[in-house]
Amino acid sequence: EAGVAQSPRYKIIEKRQSVAFWCNPISGHATLYWYQQILGQGPKLLIQFQNNGVVDDSQLPKDRFSAERLKGVDSTLKIQPAKLEDSAVYLCASSFSPGGEKLFFGSGTQLSVL
């Protein structure tokens, strides 16, 4: 079974530039999550999709972050413009359904904002 695919693996940008991350979840998983993991901290949920609808984006900085999952399969997370404090690992995860299910994580995209 293929796992959660993410790209790119690493990205270095300057502040105020834009960046996009891509995620392809495990086939058949309706729920997709984007987490932000800052060094020394646990992952924090940015946004959760159920199929192509947003379930929870309460911690997404909407003035600069956006995400979409147009066809209910793969997803893109964008930051525009990036700030220094956005330096983190961005993890995509998926599950068959929400609520008490284990999550399957991708390897993440490590973003450095200079």
Partner 1 sequence: AQSVAQPEDQVNVAEGNPLTVKCTYSVSGNPYLFWYVQYPNRGLQFLLKYITGDNLVKGSYGFEAEFNKSQTSFHLKKPSALVSDSALYFCAVPSSSNTGKLIFGQGTTLQVKP
The SS3 of residue 79 is strand
Euclidean distance between CA atoms 2 and 40, whole angstroms? 29
The contact set with partner 1 (CB under 8 A) reads 4, 6, 31, 33, 40-45, 48, 50, 55-56, 91, 93, 95, 98-108
Question: Min. distance of Cβ 97 from partner 1 in angstroms?
Answer: 8
**DSSP tag of 109:** E
Residue pair 23/109 in contact (Cβ under 8 Å)? The answer is no
CB of 89 to partner 1, least distance (A): 9
Rounded-to-integer distance, Cα 53 and Cα 110, Å:
26
**Of 63, 96, 76, 88, the residue nearest 20 (C-alpha):** 76
Min dist CB 10 to partner 1, Å, is 10
| C-alpha span between 21 and 56 (Å, rounded) | 19
CB of 81 to partner 1, least distance (A): 27
Nearer to partner 1, 76 or 107 (CB): 107
Whichever of 86 and 109 has its CB closer to partner 1, that residue is 109
Which of residues 17 and 112 has its CB atom nearest to partner 1 in the complex? 112
Nearer to partner 1, 57 or 81 (CB): 57
